[in-house]
Amino acid sequence: MRCFLSLVLALASFLLLVAVAYSGLPRSFLPLERAFPPGHRVELEALRARDRARHARILKGVVGGVVDFSVEGTSDPYSIGYGLYFTKVKLGSPPREFKVQIDTGSDILWVACDACSDCPRSSDLGIELNFFDRASSSTAMLVSCSDQMCASALQSTGTECSPQINQCSYTFQYGDGSGTSGYYVSDLMHFDVMLGQSMPANTSANVVFGCSTSQSGELTKTDKAVDGIFGFGPGGLSVISQLSSRGVTPRVFSHCLKGEGNGGGILVLGEILEPNIVYSPLVPSQPHYNLNLQSIAVNEQLLPIDSAVFATFKNQGTIVDSGTTLAYFVQEAYDPIINAITTAVSHSANPIISKGYQCYLVSSSIGDIFPPVSLNFAGGASMVLKPEQYLIRYGFVDGSAMWCIGFQKAQDGVTILGDVVLKDKIFVYDLAHQRIGWTNYDCSLSVNVSLTTSKDEYINARKRGASSSQMDTLKNLLPVSIGILIAYILVFMESL
């Protein structure tokens, strides 16, 4: 019996060593989908109107009860209704699935509650709406006034506490008159994590999120209805901040948004690794992801733009925001960009103004005609945009293809980089090191995801095989472990 127990212990030690070799901080991943079907044509004015409605809120910051939720809406009949990219999250026990837009411009995850009397009950966007039912989840708990999360919320958002019922609640009002109110809930979020196994593992963690009991304005319209918003901002109430503070995930997240076809992509609660990623430091102490844009070049020629127009202070700066569709530049930068592009294509394309927007009639490939546009950031990091990354095709005119520039003139001092420049790139939001990185990438391909804080250890998000450094660890451990195991087996056999 003693030999048999020794054999079992040896086998357990062997398996433990293998597990250690494969271990690492969990990386969670979520598939992304595009909100509109293939071939759905959206007018440029509808996209800009949608972004305008958003910017009326995002630029107000997070003081005085105003939160920059990505509540998308426009009266234009061609509007897509809400953000281009959304994902699915599972909440509660048993888990229920909710479709939520990913938004790097806001902090809070919120979904509609079943008790909401003003929430839309159907959506014209081809999705079935779900409502969170706290009574049906065995793990749901109200967030009390004494909860630390409630105390954090009281400092930065439109949160209030009701002492009579000891409940942490919120009321968010927006500049366009729309708003939402509800209360905070703590419950399980379910997701897949990658630990180096051949298959992802299912896990869950408690998160605090908003349960909306009342909505008004644009939020109530069925042509814009979704289950909620998944905020990935840098604030303490964001899911990424909650999970990383407890060591569930690293303090970094990444996304790769596919621009062509059906769209889609991947969102990783962890770090995507690619050798060509360049990083630029975040501007500190900002409620959004602000970068220090220093200069812009067209066809490798620097434009005559005073860098001071990009400096970050009140109502000025450069923001990375996945909740915005187009890209917006201050006038001091927008005019030189348009003039330089128009000059570069003057012999090969016919510039026209269509519905107030700068467009071009082209009879050949845009890649052979239009110049690259380089956005140069602090730290020597450049974002080089190919023509297909800043042009949007809008049908034909007199037999020629019409392409319009996806850059718009900002109505104030804030430059906003939206999906038109974020798509077809890996973006890494490294909150631990206060920086953002990016590189061009085909987001229909697999990505390499870090398993540890080391840059050298990663796995393929689809193949999920061991990295070279992990294999080296295994090579060192396996001979010793196998030798111990064989020795115990021989002793066990002799005792029979």
Rounded Cα distance between 162 and 145, Å, is: 7
Cis peptide before 284 (omega within 30 of 0): no
| CA–CA dist 404, 370 (Å, integer) | 12
CB atoms < 10 A from the CB of 188, how many? 19
**pLDDT in tens for each of the 496 residues of the chain?**
554 445 444 444 444 333 333 344 556 666 666 554 444 556 677 677 667 665 655 554 433 222 222 222 222 223 344 345 778 889 999 999 998 878 787 788 989 999 888 888 888 777 789 999 999 999 999 988 778 777 766 655 566 676 666 788 888 765 556 777 889 999 999 876 654 443 455 678 899 999 999 888 877 877 767 788 888 888 888 899 998 888 888 899 998 888 776 677 888 888 999 999 999 999 998 888 999 999 999 999 999 999 999 999 877 899 998 878 889 999 999 999 999 999 999 999 999 998 888 999 998 899 999 999 999 999 999 999 999 989 988 888 888 999 999 999 987 889 999 888 998 999 999 999 999 999 999 988 888 888 654 333 333 333 333 333 333 333 343 343 444 344 444 444 455 4
The distance from CA 104 to its chain's CA centroid, rounded to whole angstroms, is 6
Catalytic residue among 103, 107, 419, 424: 103
Q: Which residues pair with 448 in a beta bridge?
A: 273, 460
So what's the pLDDT on residue 283? 95
Question: Domain spans of the chain?
Answer: 1-24+454-496, 27-249, 273-447
C-beta separation of 102 from 267 below 8 A? yes
Q: Print the SS3 string covering 170-213.
A: EEEECCCCCEEEEEEEEEEEEEEEECCCCCCEEEEEEEEEEEEE
The C-alpha torsion from 358 through 362 and 368 to 374, rounded to 10°, is 10
- d(CA 246, CA 269) in angstroms, rounded, equals 14
The amino acid that residue 63 corresponds to is V
- Among 383, 374, 372, 373, CA closest to 278: 383
Q: In what order do the strands lie in the sheet with 301-302?
A: 301-302, 293-298, 373-377, 381-385
For the four alpha carbons of 485, 488, 494 and 496, in that order, the dihedral sign comes to negative
pLDDT of residue 22: 36
Residue that the structure tokens 């009860």 belong to: 65
Look up residue 20 and give its two tokens: 């250690």
Separation between Cα atoms, residue 330 and residue 317, nearest integer Å = 10
Q: DSSP secondary structure string, 256-274?
A: EE--STT--EEEEES-EE-
What is the structure's pLDDT at 192?
67
CATH class of the domain whose range is 27-249? mainly beta
Nearest-5° Cα angle at 349, 346 to 355:
105
Reported pTM: 0.77
* Cβ atoms 41, 464 nearer than 8 A: no
Predicted pLDDT of residue 73 = 27
Q: What is the spatial distance between Cα 126 and Cα 161, in angstroms, rounded to a whole number?
A: 37
Q: Map residue 15 onto helix, strand or coil.
A: helix
Whether the CB-CB separation of 84 and 325 falls below 8 Å is answered with yes
Give the full edge-to-edge strand order of the sheet including 391-397.
Answer: 350-354, 357-362, 400-405, 391-397
The predicted structure's pLDDT at residue 479? 42
Decide if 27-249 and 273-447 have a common fold: yes
Radius of gyration of the chain (CA): 25
- Among residues 51, 147, 321, 419, the one annotated as catalytic is 321
Contact (Cβ atoms closer than 8 angstroms) between residue 279 and residue 270: no
The yes-or-no answer on residue 103 being catalytic is yes
Angle between helices 468-494 and 2-22 (to 10 degrees): 180
> So what's the pLDDT on residue 11?
46
* 376: amino acid identity, one letter: N
**Contacts with 278 (C-beta within 8 Å, 6 or more apart), sequence order:** 379, 380, 381, 382, 437, 438, 439
The CATH number of 273-447 is 2.40.70.10
What pLDDT, on the 0 to 100 scale, is given for residue 322? 82
Tokens found for residue 311: 């400096």
